[in-house]
Chain A
Amino acid sequence: MDTIDMTIHGLHQALESKQLSSVEATKAMLARIEAVEPQVGSFITVTPEQALAGAEAADRRIAAGDMDILTGVPLALKDIFLTEGIRTTCGSRILDNFIPPYSATSWEKLRDRGAVLLGKLNQDEFAMGSSNESSAFGVCRNPWDTTRIPGGSSGGSAAAIAARQATATLGTDTGGSIRQPASHCGCVGLKPTYGRVSRYGVIAYASSLDQVGPLTRDVTDCAIMLGALAGYDPKDSTSVDLAVPDYVATLPNGVKGLRIGLPREYFIAGLDADVQKAMDAAIETYRRLGAEFVDISLPHTDYAVATYYLIATAEASSNLARYEGVRFGHRSANAEGLIDMMTKSRSEGFGAEVKRRIMLGTYALSSGYYDAYYVKAQKVRTLIMNDFIKAFADVDVMLTPVAPTPAFKIGEKVNDPLQMYLSDIFTIPVNLAGTCAMSLPAGFSTDGLPIGVQLIGRPFGEEAILRAGYAFEQATEWHRASANL
Chain B
Amino acid sequence: MSISVTDVEYVARLARLELGADEKEVFAGQMNAILGYVEKLKGLDTDGVIPTSHAVPMENAFREDLVRAPIGVDKALGNAPQRSGSFFNVPQVIE
> Does A291 interact with chain B (Cβ within 8 Å)?
no
B14 A362 Cβ-Cβ under 8 A: yes
Out of B34, B50, B61, B88, name the residue touching A418 (CB < 8 Å): B34
A337 within 8 A of B: yes
| Structural contact, A379 and B31, CB atoms closer than 8 A | no
- Complex interface bits, A372-400 against B, C-beta within 8 A gives 1, otherwise 0: 11011111111101000000000000000
CA distance A325 to B80 in the complex (A): 8
Q: Please name the residue on chain A nearest to B50 by beta carbon.
A: A382
- Is the pair B31, A363 in contact by a Cβ cutoff of 8 Å? yes
The residues of A that contact B55 with a CB separation of less than 8 Å are 194-195, 208, 385, 432-435, 459
A310–B40 Cα gap in the complex (Å)? Answer: 12
Main secondary structure, interface of A, reads helix
Q: How far is the CB of B1 from chain A (nearest CB, A)?
A: 9
Q: How far is the CB of B49 from chain A (nearest CB, A)?
A: 4
Asked whether A136 is an interface residue with its Cβ less than 8 Å from the other chain, the reply is no
A418 touches B49 (CB 8 A): no
Interface residues of A in 88-136 (CB under 8 A from B): 97-99, 101-102
Q: A238: CB under 8 A from chain B?
A: yes
In the bound complex, residues from chain A placing their C-beta under 8 Å from that of B54 are 194, 208, 238, 434
- Is B21 at the interface (CB under 8 A from chain A)? no
> Chain B residue with minimal CB distance to A194?
B55
Known: A380-B44, A459-B56. A359 touches B12 (CB 8 A): yes
Q: Are B52 and A381 in contact, with the CB atoms below 8 A?
A: yes
Contact of A359 among B17, B18, B50, B58 (CB under 8 A): B17
Q: What CA separation (Å) do A330 and B80 show in the bound complex?
A: 9
Q: For residues 316 through 353 of chain A, which have their beta carbon under 8 Å from a beta carbon of chain B? A: 317, 321, 324-331, 335-339, 341-344, 346-347, 350, 352
Nearest-Cβ distance from residue B46 to partner chain A, whole angstroms: 4
List 25 A–B pairs whose Cβ atoms lie within 8 Å, in order of A's numbering.
Answer: A101-B71, A101-B75, A101-B79, A208-B54, A303-B41, A309-B38, A327-B79, A328-B80, A329-B79, A329-B81, A341-B90, A347-B17, A358-B15, A359-B31, A360-B34, A363-B3, A363-B11, A372-B42, A378-B51, A379-B49, A379-B51, A380-B46, A381-B52, A382-B52, A383-B46
- Given A324-B16, A362-B15; 11 other pairs, CB 8 A cutoff: A101-B75, A195-B55, A208-B53, A237-B58, A309-B34, A331-B81, A346-B15, A356-B31, A377-B38, A379-B49, A380-B41
Binding site for B on A (CB under 8 A): 97-99, 101-102, 193-195, 208, 234, 237-238, 240, 300, 302-303, 305-307, 309-310, 317, 321, 324-331, 335-339, 341-344, 346-347, 350, 352, 355-356, 358-360, 362-363, 366, 372-373, 375-383, 385, 417-418, 421, 432-435, 459
